[in-house]
């Protein structure tokens, strides 16, 4: 009997002390992304070669989500390297997060998470600290195709 009371007291304490454990509001959570396949296809405009239309696709695993697929559309300034895009990450339960970037592709770039569907409705967050590995660049004029693996860390509030 004493053990059951102790377990019940522990459960009540955990639910009362951990924010969100008892159905509270949105909480900030650490967020990690391991991209096992990522591809940027830049279609360089022959009449204005400093600009390129970009399609980004990728797959990976993210904390809080499991397996994810990513798709984005945007453009890249081929002179400055600034990549501007908006996209969606969809997990196995078909919940989405919406994201955008306007930055030079580098380890210090920031991807902003701004909304979503399902449990991510109203979500906000950031991904930073990118590590890009196994990068391969292929040019098939007018396309530049970059394939890589990547990891990133950040936070997500939902």
d(CA 58, CA 127): 15
* Cβ atoms of 58 and 69 closer than 8 Å: yes
pLDDT value, residue 20: 43
Beta-bridged to residue 123, according to DSSP, are none
15-26 per-position pLDDT tens digit:
333 334 445 789
pLDDT value, residue 143: 95
Residue ranges, the chain, pLDDT below 50: 1-22
CA-CA-CA-CA dihedral for 136, 144, 72, 25, to nearest 10: 40
pLDDT value, residue 49: 82
pLDDT value, residue 50: 87
* Cβ atoms of 88 and 98 closer than 8 Å: yes
């Amino acid at each position: 009997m004493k053990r059951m009371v102790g377990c019940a007291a522990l459960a009540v304490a955990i639910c009362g002390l951990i924010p969100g454990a008892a159905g509270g509001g949105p909480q900030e959570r650490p967020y990690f992304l391991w991209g096992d396949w990522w591809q940027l296809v830049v279609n360089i405009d022959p009449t204005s070669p400093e600009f390129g239309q970009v399609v980004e696709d990728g797959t990976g695993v993210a904390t809080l989500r499991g397996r994810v697929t990513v798709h984005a559309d945007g453009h890249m300034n081929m002179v400055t390297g600034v990549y501007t895009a908006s996209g969606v990450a969809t997990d196995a339960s078909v919940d989405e997060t919406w994201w955008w970037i306007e930055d030079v592709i580098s380890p210090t770039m920031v991807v902003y998470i701004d909304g979503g569907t399902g449990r991510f409705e109203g979500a906000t967050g950031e991904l930073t600290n990118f590590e890009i590995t196994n990068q391969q660049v292929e040019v098939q004029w007018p396309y530049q195709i970059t394939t890589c693996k990547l990891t990133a860390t950040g936070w997500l509030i939902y």
